[in-house]
């Protein structure tokens, strides 16, 4: 299993910076930050990082800010009460179904999303319930040991993304583009126009971007 | 608006800037990126509770509100209408709008009846409910809206890389526009800006496909 330390080292070799002249390693290093961004992007696109949390439903309360309970919450996958699955309903459909959606009380049977931080249940709970919510989550960050949560088959791809970002940051844009193209192809994401045409652009790789130049 | 410290550190790391001289400019770039994002997407939905006041039609949402999506009164969703719809359906609606109070049924945000609440203008974070409530009500009005995150990093952790890459691109681009000479360094800078813009585009497309609006 590839560890975080292995990945840091892989990226160092890809960007030719094993001496940490430009980029730092470790749980709070600049290399790790981009590896974690790559993991988040893959988790978002492929739904590869999930968790389950208990949400306490209280009588008379229709809506809940899930981010307060699960700070890594992205979006809900499924919800159950006492092992009975709840149906997902679109908010727009719910308010057409019942304009009194925040008043009608019973055992909740449906859930709906309210943006990226909140969920609601319908009918409004008429007592206390525990809703088990399985959701897409932000993968854990800044870990001093262990491995990424997404599968081993993605780990090389994580290093390619991080190296792409760091190379472009140094002004080695063409090299960054090549690595990013490989990453996006592996993920199955269509290339943005810039990346499709960037190979034709020639730029001096020895020039320092002017915003890094000292006066 | 302040840029969160962790975001500033990441942006500066990618720009390979160590000094603090340009922190203010970076913060301005971040603010522009955040404003454009909030205007374009409903990712930062908010819910605000307001007290209903007897015979009052006009209410004001929090100053961080960018867009009002819906209004509930005592748990019942109000229908959204417009002044033009009212003109078509009910000639002289403005007169009836100042008639007796009751249970609010509709809400809108444009064109006030001229004598309702004696207001001379309306701001984007104000809305009207009609009929005006007949009695006071604590937390009777629920405003569903989209709001700017505060000076802290957005609670939605998944949006931070997108904001970082857009801010990096924005900073480089606005720096290039201030230059007059065409140099190799400038060309590299523009390519770097376009690269980070492309990366941000990838994040934006993925997030758009995943996060419910």
Please report, in tens digits, the pLDDT of each residue of chain B (213 residues total): 689 999 999 999 999 998 898 999 999 999 999 989 988 888 888 889 999 999 888 899 998 888 898 999 998 889 988 877 767 776 766 666 556 788 998 898 865 554 445 445 566 688 888 888 999 999 999 999 888 887 677 878 899 999 999 999 999 988 766 554 456 667 778 889 999 999 999 999 999 888 876
How distant, in Å, are the alpha carbons of A27, A41, A71, A161, B25 from that of A144?
A: 5, 21, 20, 21, 33
Does residue B41 belong to the interface with chain A, where contact is any CB pair within 8 Å?
no
**A-chain residues within 8 Å CB-CB of B201?**
192, 194
- Read off φ and ψ for residue B202, nearest 5 degrees: -60, -50
Q: Which of A131, A130, A138 lies closest to A111 in space, CA to CA?
A: A131
**B-chain residues within 8 Å CB-CB of A177?**
195
pLDDT at A200: 42
Q: Which residue has the higher pLDDT, A105 or B177?
A: A105
pLDDT interval class at A133 (50, 70, 90): very high
Binary contact (B14, A165; C-beta < 8 A): yes
**B-chain residues within 8 Å CB-CB of A210?**
175-176, 179, 183, 185-186, 189
Binary contact (A99, B77; C-beta < 8 A): yes
E runs forming strands in chain B: 45-52, 58-60, 65-73, 76-77, 79-80, 106-108, 126-130, 137-147
Binary contact (B192, A115; C-beta < 8 A): no
Q: Which residue has the higher pLDDT, A144 or A111?
A: A111
Query: For residues A153 and A147, is the Cβ–Cβ distance under 8 A?
Result: no
- The bridge status of strand B58-60 relative to strand B76-77 is unpaired
Longest Cα–Cα distance in chain A? 70
Which A positions 150-209 lie with beta carbon below 8 A of chain B? 165, 168-171, 173, 176-177, 180, 184, 189, 192-195, 198, 201, 203-205, 207-209
CB-nearest partner of B15 from A102, A180, A211: A211
Mean pLDDT estimate for chain B: 83
Question: Is A212's pLDDT higher than 60?
Answer: no
Q: Which of B162, B157, B208, B125 lies closest to B34 in space, CA to CA?
A: B162
pTM equals 0.83
Does residue B142 belong to the interface with chain A, where contact is any CB pair within 8 Å?
yes
**A-chain residues within 8 Å CB-CB of B205?**
189
Q: ipTM, 2 decimals?
A: 0.85
> What percentage of chain A's residues is helix, strand, coil (to nearest 5)?
40, 20, 40
Does residue B71 belong to the interface with chain A, where contact is any CB pair within 8 Å?
no
């Amino acid at each position: 299993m590839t560890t975080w330390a292995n990945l840091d080292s892989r990226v160092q070799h890809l960007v030719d910076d094993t001496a940490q002249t430009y980029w730092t390693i470790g749980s709070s290093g600049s290399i790790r930050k981009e590896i974690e961004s790559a993991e988040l992007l893959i988790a978002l696109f492929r739904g590869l990082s999930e968790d389950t949390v208990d949400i306490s439903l209280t009588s008379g309360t229709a809506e809940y800010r899930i981010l307060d309970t699960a700070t890594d919450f992205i979006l809900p996958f499924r919800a159950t009460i006492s092992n009975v699955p709840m149906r997902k309903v679109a908010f727009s459909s719910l308010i057409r179904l019942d304009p009194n959606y925040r008043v009608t009380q019973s055992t909740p049977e449906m859930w709906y999303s309210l943006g990226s931080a909140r969920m609601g249940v319908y009918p409004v709970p008429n007592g206390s319930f525990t809703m088990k919510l399985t959701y897409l989550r932000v993968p854990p960050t800044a870990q001093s040991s262990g491995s990424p949560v997404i599968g081993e088959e993605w780990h090389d791809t994580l290093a390619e993304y991080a190296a792409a970002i760091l190379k472009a940051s140094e002004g080695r844009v063409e090299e960054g583009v090549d690595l990013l193209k490989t990453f996006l192809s592996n993920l199955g994401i269509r290339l943005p126009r810039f990346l499709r045409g960037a190979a034709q652009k020639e730029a001096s790789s020895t020039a320092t971007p002017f915003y890094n130049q000292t006066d | 608006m302040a840029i969160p410290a962790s975001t500033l550190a990441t942006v500066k790391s990618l720009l390979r800037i160590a000094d603090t001289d340009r922190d203010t400019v970076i913060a301005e770039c971040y603010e522009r990126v955040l404003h454009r994002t909030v205007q374009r997407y409903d990712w930062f939905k908010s819910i605000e509770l307001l007290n209903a006041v007897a015979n009052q039609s006009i209410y004001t949402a929090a100053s961080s509100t960018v867009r009002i999506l819906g209004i509930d009164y005592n748990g019942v969703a109000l229908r959204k209408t417009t002044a033009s719809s009212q003109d078509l359906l009910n000639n002289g609606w403005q007169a009836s709008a100042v008639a007796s109070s009751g249970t609010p049924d509709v809400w809108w945000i444009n064109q006030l009846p001229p004598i309702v609440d004696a207001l001379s203008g309306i701001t984007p974070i104000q809305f009207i409910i009609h009929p005006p409530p007949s009695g006071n009500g604590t937390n009777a009005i629920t405003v569903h809206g989209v709001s700017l995150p505060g000076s802290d990093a957005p609670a939605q952790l998944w949006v931070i890389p997108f904001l970082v890459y857009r801010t990096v691109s924005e900073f480089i681009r606005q720096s290039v526009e201030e230059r007059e000479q065409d140099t190799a360094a400038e060309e590299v800078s523009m390519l770097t800006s376009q690269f980070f813009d492309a990366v941000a585009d990838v994040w934006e497309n993925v997030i758009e496909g995943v996060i419910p609006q």
